[in-house]
């Protein structure tokens, strides 16, 4: 590897892709070597940093093999089907990958774990450092508030988000359920309507809001008798996700393979 980490960015003209490009260009330990879009994109051949008003001489391309042949690490916040296709090319080239994509099926998650036997993979539903601090706080809170508290997860995102609940909300539910010795698949409820009956004590509820340009708000509510505890994270910018992805890239630099998440990257295990 070169002294600086050479990054390729997937989905480079999207909201998250542009934020990742800006983060890489502003980081002294990083170098942008490839910016990827789908073959039908009208942006192909244009400078990847034109939106910043300061060209970087990296042109947007669609040839994933050519792009990864010059990269150390791919950062991918796209769609599951695209990420899984990119993952196979990463395996071929021995390129590390930071996956911030959400909405994977069980089979998709299995494919990621399989690839991690050959290359380093950081796979996290949310790469923001603050969110991962919240995951740790939720583990502690759930162990303390393990009796007499009803648990609800509330999340809000922009109108363009295609999966619900968000991957971050689901991960929050998983952290809380694990701390309480439960399986989220057995105790989660993702919507209530009509005559639902009394709330089961062990239930973990999810509420989803979609609208406007909300970057990402998440709250876990512990509702007890006479008190409520709320642990909340609000994102004002996608830059927090991008900066976390760069920390993931640095973490993978000295590793040959393995499946990791941001708790590993931040030393929170």
Beta bridge partners of 153: 206, 220
CB 240 within 8 A of CB 130: yes
Q: DSSP letter string over the chain?
A: --SSEEEEESSTTSHHHHHHHHHHHT-TTEEEEEEE--TT-TTTTSBTTGGGTS--SPBEE--HHHHHTT-SEEEE-S-HHHHHHHHHHHHHHT-EEEE------HHHHHHHHHHTTTSEEEE-S---HHHHHHHHHHHHHHHHT-SS-EEEEEEEE-TT--SSS-HHHHHHHHHHHHHTT--HHHHEE----S---SPPTT-EEEEEEE-TT--EEEEEEEE-SS-EEEEEEEES-THHHHHHHHHHHHHHTT-SSEEE-HHHHTT--
Q: Catalytic residue at 158?
A: no
Q: Catalytic residue at 161?
A: yes
Tokens (6 digits) for 240:
């927090």
CB 72 within 8 A of CB 6: yes
Catalytic choice (161, 195, 218, 234): 161
Catalytic choice (86, 96, 157, 218): 157
Backbone angles phi and psi of 19, in degrees to 5? -65, -40
User: What residues are annotated to the active site?
Assistant: 157, 161
């Amino acid at each position: 590897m070169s002294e600086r980490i050479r990054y390729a960015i997937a989905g480079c003209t999207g909201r998250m892709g542009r934020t990742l490009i800006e983060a890489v260009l502003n980081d002294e330990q990083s170098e942008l070597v490839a910016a990827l879009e789908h073959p039908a994109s009208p942006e192909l051949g244009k400078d990847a940093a034109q939106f910043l008003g300061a060209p970087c001489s990296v042109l947007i391309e669609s040839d994933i093999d050519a792009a990864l042949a010059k990269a150390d690490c791919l950062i991918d916040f796209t769609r599951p089907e695209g990420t899984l296709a990119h993952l196979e090319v990463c395996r071929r080239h021995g390129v590390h990958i930071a996956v911030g994509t959400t909405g994977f099926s069980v089979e998709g998650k299995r494919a990621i774990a399989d690839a991690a036997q050959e290359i380093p993979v950081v796979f996290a539903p949310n790469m923001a450092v603050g969110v991962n601090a919240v995951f740790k706080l939720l583990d502690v809170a759930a162990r303390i508030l393990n009796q007499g508290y009803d648990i609800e997860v509330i999340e809000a995102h922009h109108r363009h988000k295609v999966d619900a609940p968000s991957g971050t909300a689901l991960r929050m539910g998983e952290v809380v359920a694990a701390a309480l010795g439960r399986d989220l698949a057995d105790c989660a409820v993702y919507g209530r309507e009509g005559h639902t009956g009394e709330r089961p004590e062990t239930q973990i509820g999810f509420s989803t809001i979609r609208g406007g340009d909300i970057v990402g708000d998440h709250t876990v509510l512990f509702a007890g008798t006479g008190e409520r505890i709320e642990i909340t994270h609000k994102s004002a910018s996608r830059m927090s996700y991008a900066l976390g992805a760069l920390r993931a890239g640095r973490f993978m630099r000295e590793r040959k393979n393995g499946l990791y998440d941001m708790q590993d990257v931040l030393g929170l295990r």
